[in-house]
Structure 1
């Protein structure tokens, strides 16, 4: 069997750039400027470690694509076949400011969109270097990334397959410890094990592995620690009767997936069963209702109303979900304040949860591919409580 190749073909970036140009034409931009690492990877295929030295992409309506980068990154960008003309500055801050080097190369004029994520200091530097341009903030690139191209969907699917195997590995570590009759793993030990599993699969079965902000890993917490929605793994050791959560994911070709399940060690109490069953019902409704044409805020309402109607609304701490792509968290947001219409090709999380202080948290998440007539759960590990009990 041929290794799975994480590197996208040059033609992908040509299509991504053309998608952005079409949106630029509709919105009246002569060029777009972004220094966001995810935008840069989307437009050119160049992944890098962000630092004080700016890396930016300038994309013109006329067709020219220029990437500003420090000289020390030039060979690295070439090794990734970055789909852009490279313009380098020697060092930061430099005798000549980096954005002045870019301006000398592109001669900016007219209405220029800049990614609204750009930090103030870099925006100020760009404005100073481009006095004849009208720099206008825009979320155009974020919107362009909403709907995944087919090659991206293939990367998400592979990341989902690996995430399911990471969940299986976490359960196996705990069940093996129970069978051995010794100490159960700590949260930190469990986190290290599932992370090594995900990374090991990629390095063993893939080529051209892209190490983005996270290759594989996640949040692992048990008992009262899991009542913090984003609590970090600790040295707490799992104990009989605990609720524990595996909130895992990975990135293949820089495209993320998350999959989360909540488990119980031993026979669940009536309270644990009520909490888990409620979240399972809310998450199931989310899988049934997410579809093209549904507003994000309506998806969120339908899902979280299940929890409210069960009398557990006081334990809600967050929205139903969010977009997933080159960022683990990106727009659109399945939340009351986002009226974005879901569109086929989007990937979003479906992750309702409740968090009972001093007791535990309960969350189930799948990464969903939105389709014209519904949505497909890319992560498939079993969700019901009876499938998430670790017998003692």
Structure 2
């Protein structure tokens, strides 16, 4: 098997045409993107973000990638979809954006930037283009929400590997348990599943887009799993407890995550009860991810079910979030987001219960929104008898 993580130049040409059409409709003459995920999305350039600015400047005719000297070779090897403009260092005798402004020259129309641009950088840009209005825009944020077919191929592969990461974690725990050996710690489990994901890419992909957080996740055992987004620890998985494997990766810079709750050894009635409620809530949440409905409706329906089961004290978060170049990005599957779901959006579905001194109960899937219904891209087994490891 030979899988390519790189998108073809035609993808970026089409994407730039779409962005420019929206710029023209809004009277924007220059679009500046300095977030690493936006740069990757629009040019295919992956880098390690730091204090040195990297930004795409898109005009009606040109695509210019502003990079520091130490990124020159990286950009050349990645064949980015833009002309590169190189400055030497930060902060620099000549500032990076001063060089960019001088290279671009006069601009007709507004100058727009993403909402994530810092206040200081926006002020700097306004000073460099005193004759233009500088304002934020959601053009790229909105485009990122609906995936092109080529992107969905990358998400599917990321989902396949995410499921494989969960399976490798389960195998490590069960092999030790059945052999009577010391059970792995949360930290050991994390290292194992990340290594497994990288081995799959190394063996089965012809190239790897090395992005930040290429593979990783959250692994908690027993009472630790009752605290979402807690810090991973050296605590070992223990018999008679539940544990969570929340794992994901990025293929070609496109993300997926797969998450299941497991019980090691003999489950208790509490384990079975809480798991059943979390599983049904997740089914309801996923079922709401249909084109034409709102993000809010999917969240409200699933969380209402949890509250009706008397589980409000154990409810800590929304149903899910959009996934794309980032693991977490708009739209938000939450009661306050009235975004209408569209075919080609990809969202997580992960309502959960967090019961102090017992554990967390969470299932998560990466779900493709279609007009005919939700399509789970992660498919690891979820029946209670399938997640009890005996």
Common fold, TM-score beyond 0.5?
yes
Shift of 1:307: 0.8
Query: Map of 1:79-90 to 2, 5 A cutoff?
Result: 79-90=77-88
Query: Map of 1:12-51 to 2, 5 A cutoff?
Result: 12-51=11-50
Q: Does 1:381 align with 2:375?
A: no
Could you tell me whether the CA contact under 8 Å between 1:16 and 1:42 is conserved in 2? no
Aligned to 2:145, the other structure's residue is in SS state coil
Could you tell me whether the CA contact under 8 Å between 1:292 and 1:374 is conserved in 2? yes
Question: How far apart, in 1, do the equivalents of 2:92 and 2:216 lie?
Answer: 37
Mind listing any 5+ residue stretches in structure 2 that lack a counterpart?
none
Question: How far apart, in 1, do the equivalents of 2:236 and 2:347 lie?
Answer: 32
Question: How far apart, in 1, do the equivalents of 2:129 and 2:73 lie?
Answer: 27
Q: Does 1:164 align with 2:160?
A: no
Shift of 1:383: 1.2
Partner residue, 1:77: 75
Q: Summarize deviations over 1:32-69 as a string: whole Å, max 9, x none.
A: 11101111111111111111110111112x23111111
Which of 92, 97, 102 is the equivalent residue of 1:94? 92
- After the TM superposition, list the runs of 4 or more consecutive aligned residues in structure 1 that deviate by more than 4 angstroms: none
Could you tell me whether the CA contact under 8 Å between 2:288 and 2:297 is conserved in 1? no
Q: Summarize deviations over 1:176-223 as a string: whole Å, max 9, x none.
A: 011111211111111111111111100111122011111111111011
Q: Does 1:317 align with 2:347?
A: no
Q: Does 1:347 align with 2:346?
A: yes
TM-score normalised by L of structure 2:
0.97
Could you tell me whether the CA contact under 8 Å between 1:108 and 1:133 is conserved in 2? no
Question: How far apart, in 1, do the equivalents of 2:167 and 2:74 lie?
Answer: 36
Question: How far apart, in 2, do the equivalents of 1:386 and 1:185 lie?
Answer: 22
Aligned to 1:4, the other structure's residue is in SS state coil
Aligned to 1:207, the other structure's residue is in SS state coil
Partner residue, 2:363: 364
Shift of 1:23: 2.1
Q: Does 1:127 align with 2:126?
A: yes
Mind listing any 5+ residue stretches in structure 1 that lack a counterpart?
none
Question: How far apart, in 1, do the equivalents of 2:103 and 2:152 lie?
Answer: 35
Shift of 1:359: 2.0
Cα-Cα RMSD: 1.1
Question: How far apart, in 2, do the equivalents of 1:76 and 1:251 lie?
Answer: 19
Shift of 1:302: 1.0
Could you tell me whether the CA contact under 8 Å between 2:286 and 2:298 is conserved in 1? no
Aligned to 1:259, the other structure's residue is in SS state strand
Shift of 1:108: 4.4
Question: How far apart, in 1, do the equivalents of 2:233 and 2:106 lie?
Answer: 51
Query: Map of 1:1-392 to 2, 5 A cutoff?
Result: 1=1, 3-60=2-59, 62-109=60-107, 110-391=109-390
Could you tell me whether the CA contact under 8 Å between 2:282 and 2:351 is conserved in 1? yes
Aligned to 1:87, the other structure's residue is in SS state strand
Q: Summarize deviations over 1:227-284 as a string: whole Å, max 9, x none.
A: 1111122111111111100000001001010110000112221111111000100111
Segment of structure 1 superposing worse, 63-72 or 192-201: 63-72
Could you tell me whether the CA contact under 8 Å between 2:348 and 2:364 is conserved in 1? yes
Shift of 1:70: 1.0
